Amino acid sequence: MIERCGDRQRKCDGLEKWPLHFFVESLPVMLQVALLLLACGLCRHMWSINAPVARTLTGLTGLGVVFYIGIVIAGMSSYACPFQTPASNALRGSWKKVRHGITSSVVHSERMLSQVQQMWKRRVRPLRHQSPPTILLENVQVRRSEPWLKPQDLAIIRRTNTDDARCVSWILRNITDPEALDAAIRLAGEIRWFDDGVNVTPPYDLIVSTFEACLDSTKTLYPGSRGRAYYSVRAILWIHVLATCKSEEFARIFPLPRIKFTTPVPDPDLEHLYISDGIWSADLRIGLFLRTEPGHTPLHSQWISNLILHDSWANRTGLNYKTILYLVSVHKTETIIPLNTTLNRLLVWCILLGSPVEEEVLKVHDKSYSSPSFAVAQITHCPSLVTAWDPS
């Protein structure tokens, strides 16, 4: 099985390295161009033979072109449109770049203007012999509010999430292909299960048994099963914590399994997820997370930060602050924390400081799929924000 997976992976890598998709996608474009040229040539030829037939042909060709342009525009305007063409994809990409360029230019100009003003006030004025003005202590508050998560973005994320949940659940229950299973288990640790609109129950028992299957009778990992074990544990923890976010009672439907595997485990990431019910209390998890153990991969750090954020939010009223305080009192400084992880840390600090995490934080950041889930999970519980959102 591993050899087969390796072979497939090698082929997949080769496809990406030699951009096969480009050649495949260019075939319909060539067909379309050929059809257009044929129609144009035919029309031109017919004008010299029979004018009424030529007029009909030209009209039909024109209609075809208009229809094609309509399809391209429809595909460009919405990614969800089923009539996607290579042209619409290319145009959508170009439009995004142009829009990004305009936004960057505006921001850049504002910064430049601000700096020029600073220069003028601080540097040029003394040169002009004017005595520095007597400026009293005054309040200066220039903080621009950032845009909220737009309702249409939320709708897209919700729809994608629902589709993913349905898809993952179906694959885990019906498919036996190991590659598909691995991908589904990986995604199971990132989906916002139990959100509004997601009426799919996660195949929790299946994921737990998948993890158990990675261990032999001595509770040691089978060689080559590290990836599946790691992502299974992730999915188990994720589902359990998301259920805790709903309620304590609901979380009991998805209990953390009492599975122990023999330590030391192959890598720090997997070791970090070591499940032992009773020891992994929420306080301990938050404390250890804030101490930032070195050796984790950035992706793991980001994922775990997201998990801990949910965890701390779910347990915010029942946390043992003294335990956390004890655990965070020792600070390790050698670890460089990725930005996304830092943002989640900041939110955890907000919760620990006793502040309700407000709707203001509900902004989608430039993170991978899993990271903004907290924000989105919260916004789904605050529909008033969506309805109150004012595009102006």
Partner 1 sequence: MGPILGQLSKADLSAIDGTPTQREFIPCMLKDLVNWENRPEDLAGIAYEWCSVIYENPHHLQNWEGLLLLCLKFGFRHLDLQHQPIGGWVTHTEHHRGLIDVVFKSQEGEAIADVLHVWSASHTAQTLLSLCAGHLIDLHSFVPFSPRLRQLIIRSIELIGYKKFEEAGVEMFIGLLNHLQVTIEDIDFGFPWANLLLDTIQSSGGTKHLSHWYWEFLVELAAPESPWLELDFVRSLRTITSLTETKQWSKLECWMGSVWMLLPRQADAMAEGELGRSMLLLFHQRPGAVQKLEQWMEQWGQTHDRDIPESYKQICKQAREAAQQNAL
Positions touching partner 1 (CB under 8 A) are 111, 114-115, 118, 121-123, 126-127, 129, 132-146, 290, 321-322, 324-325, 328-329, 331, 333, 336-337, 339, 342-343, 345-347, 349-350, 352-355, 357-358, 360-363, 365
State the minimum distance, in angstroms, from the CB of residue 195 to partner 1: 21
Q: Is the peptide bond before 264 cis (omega within 30 degrees of 0)?
A: yes
How far the first Cα of the chain sits from its last, in Å, is: 56
Nearer to partner 1, 3 or 138 (CB): 138
Give the number of other CB atoms < 10 A from CB of residue 162: 18
Beta carbon of residue 382, minimum distance to partner 1 (angstroms, whole number): 14
Residue placing its CB nearer to partner 1 in the complex, 146 or 249: 146
CB of 366 to partner 1, least distance (A): 10
Instruction: Give whichever of 141 and 317 is closer to partner 1, judged by the CB atom.
Output: 141
> Cβ 160 to partner 1, closest distance in Å?
23
Q: Which is nearer to partner 1, 71 or 327 (CB)?
A: 327
Task: Select 127 or 279, whichever has its Cβ closest to partner 1.
Answer: 127
Q: Does residue 195 contact residue 243 with C-beta atoms inside 8 Å? A: no
**Smallest gap, in angstroms, from Cβ of residue 156 to partner 1?**
20
Question: Which among 311, 313, 309, 306 is positioned nearest to 371, based on CA atoms?
Answer: 306
* Torsion sign over Cα 371, 376, 381, 384: positive
Q: Least distance (Å) from partner 1 to the CB of residue 132?
A: 6
CA–CA distance, 113 with 65 (Å, rounded to integer): 47
Is residue 191 within 8 Å of residue 164, measured between CB atoms?
yes
Task: Compare residues 240 and 296 and give the one whose CB is closer to partner 1.
Answer: 296
Find out whether 144 and 154 touch, Cβ atoms under 8 Å: no
Smallest separation (angstroms) from partner 1 to the CB of 247? 25
Helix 204-213 vs helix 226-246: crossing angle, to nearest 10: 150
Nearer to partner 1, 85 or 315 (CB): 315
Q: What tokens were used for 155?
A: 């709708």
* CA separation for the pair 35, 43 (Å, rounded): 12
Dihedrals phi, psi of 145, to nearest 5 degrees: -80, 140
